[in-house]
């Protein structure tokens, strides 16, 4: 068993913050352990909480469709969230919750060692210790972050719920994803 599986087991039983009180299932994340791309969202929603799997609800379907449009297959990436348990009423996770969960994320990053980390929205950026005032200050470019002695390249874009809700943001979202596809290269390309 590698540390990714070990961390998943610990996440399922985790009580490090109050989010465990109302969860059905914790959602450790899933995907290719050798992924070039690791995607980090915000938090599980209602469907994810019931199934114990990330990004299976509406914004997950939207994201998966947009990834496919740029030639990134969901089965080739590893996908997780800034916090592994659903916040009540789908509120944003607090910084306390994100920090309590960060050690799990770092363990996942250290096993997978992705070429690029795609951070979806502010909670994901916060979980990676990115410094910014507005998301747009850091959106759409490769930045480096250092987490517990390991460095990672990070690309930040919107959380998919934003372009899903505001169609005018979809062209910027797809441009960002095309940029990500260029960075990770053609390995495992669909097209």
Interacting residues toward ligand URA by CB under 6 A:
41-45, 48, 54-55, 57, 59-60, 81
What are the C-alpha distances in Å from 3 to residues 41, 108, 137?
21, 8, 34
**CA 53 – CA 90 distance, rounded (Å):** 16
Quote the distance between the C-alpha of residue 95 and its chain's center.
16
Closer of 55 and 78 to ligand URA (Cβ)? 55
**CA 22 – CA 18 distance, rounded (Å):** 8
Closer of 95 and 150 to ligand URA (Cβ)? 95
CB of 141 to ligand URA, least distance (A): 21
Residue 173 in contact with residue 163, Cβ under 8 Å? Answer: yes
Closer of 31 and 44 to ligand URA (Cβ)? 44
CB of 51 to ligand URA, least distance (A): 10
CB of 67 to ligand URA, least distance (A): 14
CB of 57 to ligand URA, least distance (A): 6
Burial degree of 9 (CB within 10 A; 0-12, 13-18, 19+): exposed
> Which residue minimizes CB distance to ligand URA?
41
CB of 185 to ligand URA, least distance (A): 26
Closer of 26 and 116 to ligand URA (Cβ)? 26
**CA 70 – CA 68 distance, rounded (Å):** 5
Closer of 165 and 182 to ligand URA (Cβ)? 165
- Main-chain dihedrals φ then ψ at residue 80, nearest 5 degrees: -150, -165
């Amino acid at each position: 068993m590698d540390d990714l599986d070990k961390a998943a087991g610990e996440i399922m039983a985790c009580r490090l913050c109050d989010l465990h009180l109302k969860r059905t299932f914790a959602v450790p994340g899933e995907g290719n352990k050798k992924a070039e791309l690791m995607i980090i969202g915000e938090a599980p929603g209602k469907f994810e909480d019931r199934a114990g799997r990330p990004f299976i609800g509406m914004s997950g379907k939207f994201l998966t469709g947009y990834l496919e449009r740029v030639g990134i297959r969901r089965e080739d990436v590893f996908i997780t969230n800034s916090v592994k348990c659903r916040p009540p009423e789908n509120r944003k996770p607090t910084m306390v919750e994100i920090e309590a969960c960060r050690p799990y994320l770092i363990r996942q990053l250290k096993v997978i060692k992705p070429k690029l980390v795609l951070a979806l929205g502010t909670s994901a950026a916060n979980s990676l210790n990115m410094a910014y005032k507005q998301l747009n200050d850091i959106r759409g470019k490769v930045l480096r972050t250092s987490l517990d002695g390991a460095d990672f390249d990070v690309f930040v874009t919107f959380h998919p719920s934003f372009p899903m809700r505001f169609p005018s943001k979809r062209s910027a979202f797809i441009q960002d994803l095309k940029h990500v596809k260029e960075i990770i290269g053609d390995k495992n390309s669909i097209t």
